[in-house]
Amino acid sequence: MPTLLEQLKQYSVVVADTGDLEAIRRFAPEDATTNPSLILKAVQSGQYDALIDPVLQASAGTGGDLEAIIDDACDRLVVALGCRILEAVPGRVSTEVNARLSFDTEASIAKARRLIAGYEQAGVGRDRVLIKLAATWEGIRAAEVLEREGIACNLTLIFSFVQARACAEAGVWLISPFVGRILDWYRRHQPERQDPPAQEPGVRSVQRIQRYFWQQGYRTRVMGASFRNCGEILALAGCDRLTISPELLDELASTHGLLEPVLGREPQAPAEPVAPLTEAEFRWRMNEDAMATDKLAEGIRGFEADQRRLEQLLRERLTGRR
């Protein structure tokens, strides 16, 4: 009998949620996703040491002050890592815009264009890259502009239906609604809850989003993310895409059993047209959702903290070279 991972790949596109090249090669996913936390972990692992000195040397040659050099080095490094990852996957890699730009539409657009230019200078077409942005109102508006320019986007840190809907209405290529982080919030605030994986609030949220997107005929793809256990993954079999950590990929690859897809493109009744969300509606509905508001802010702060750690690592390495 085939493994659960082999069967899962028949129903959903499997994406590696890691920058670990060895894991990517082992599990042969279609795509790979990264974020500042995963980039920091990958750099600390030593896998990419050979990339860092050339990146710092190129950035130092730009003639800017130290902080401008570090900012340039971070951009060059994430592009270099993305290019290396793309050697191991047939599809796309997601590269994230700095979390500190999450509330600045114009700065997010400028950073995304810079990252895409870096990939194109390295010979990688934009058809193999997803620009990753936090699903704030400003991030969604940035993605709307970028999509019109042919720059496909992955909107991340999605914890609510209203975020997902706003992304689809903006025409983004992909969204990443989180599962495990939603569960974390409920376990902290309602410790008496003992939901089985298939009934967890994060799983049910992604199921609702996926079914609504199919019903409305949105082109935006749904990629479940942030899993805490394999039960959550199996409960989302049939979702457009699933991005999975190496630890859970290993568990799925070593487990045999029958996997039945939970989500499928069942015939849908014609959808009623809905008016696009306004900014006021979006912000009010987010305000009404304490979990989504808490987790979005926490996620942005966490990614920014790891971005600063990465910058400090490069700063120390650069000043040490000097």
Range of weakest confidence among 118-122, 199-203, 235-239, 267-271: 267-271
What's the average model confidence in pLDDT over 32-58?
Answer: 87
Asked whether the CA dihedral 245, 248, 254, 260 is positive or negative, the reply is negative
The predicted structure's pLDDT at residue 1: 79
CATH code, 220: 3.20.20.70
Amino acid identity, position 45: S
Let me know: does 84 contact 54? Beta carbons within 8 Å.
no
The share of the chain scoring above pLDDT 70, in percent, equals 98
What's the average model confidence in pLDDT over 189-196?
Answer: 92
Number of domains making up the chain: 1
pLDDT surpasses 90 at 79 = yes
3-state secondary structure at position 17: strand
Query: What Å distances lie between residue 31 and 35, 82, 102, CA to CA?
Result: 14, 11, 24
The predicted structure's pLDDT at residue 49: 84
Q: How confident is the model at residue 322 (pLDDT cuts 50, 70, 90)?
A: very low
The predicted structure's pLDDT at residue 320: 76
The predicted structure's pLDDT at residue 268: 63
Q: How confident is the model at residue 319 (pLDDT cuts 50, 70, 90)?
A: confident
The predicted structure's pLDDT at residue 125: 97
What's the average model confidence in pLDDT over 63-89?
Answer: 93
pLDDT surpasses 70 at 267 = no
Q: How confident is the model at residue 136 (pLDDT cuts 50, 70, 90)?
A: very high
Task: From 90, 92, 134, select the one nearest 112 (Cα to Cα).
Answer: 134
pLDDT tens string 137-160: 999 999 999 999 999 999 999 999
- DSSP string computed for 149-176: TT--EEEEEE-SHHHHHHHHHTT-SEEE
The predicted structure's pLDDT at residue 34: 85
Greater confidence, 266 or 83?
83
What's the average model confidence in pLDDT over 217-221?
Answer: 96
The predicted structure's pLDDT at residue 127: 97
What's the average model confidence in pLDDT over 179-193?
Answer: 95
What's the average model confidence in pLDDT over 6-11?
Answer: 97
132 annotated active-site = yes
pLDDT surpasses 60 at 71 = yes
The share of the chain scoring above pLDDT 90, in percent, equals 83
Q: How confident is the model at residue 233 (pLDDT cuts 50, 70, 90)?
A: very high
Largest Cα separation within the chain, whole Å, is 66
What's the average model confidence in pLDDT over 40-69?
Answer: 88
Q: 293-300 — which CB contacts under 8 Å span 24+ positions?
A: 294/185, 295/157, 295/159, 295/178, 295/181, 295/182, 295/185, 296/134, 296/135, 296/136, 296/157, 296/159, 296/163, 299/134, 299/156, 299/157, 299/178, 299/181, 300/99, 300/102, 300/134, 300/136, 300/157
The predicted structure's pLDDT at residue 45: 84
Tokens 């209203």 correspond to what residue? 162
Domain holding 214, by residue range, is 4-266+275-319
The predicted structure's pLDDT at residue 269: 63
Of 9, 41, 111, 132, catalytic: 132
b/e code 190-223 from CB counts within 10 Å (16+ = b): eeeeeeebeebbbbebbbebbbbbbebebebbbb
Strand partners, 174: 154, 221
Secondary structure of the chain as H, E, C letters: CCEHHHHHHHHCEEEEECCCHHHHHHHCCCEEECCHHHHHHHHHCCCCHHHHHHHHHHHHCCCCCHHHHHHHHHHHHHHHHHHHHHCCCCCCEEEECCHHHCCCHHHHHHHHHHHHHHHHHCCCCHHHEEEEEECCHHHHHHHHHHHHCCCCEEEEEECCHHHHHHHHHCCCCEEEEECHHHHHHHHHHCCCCCCCHHHCHHHHHHHHHHHHHHHHCCCCEEEEECCCCHHHHHCCCCCCEEEECHHHHHHHHCCECCCCCCCCCCCCCCCCCCCCCCHHHHHHHHHHCHHHHHHHHHHHHHHHHHHHHHHHHHHHHHHHHC
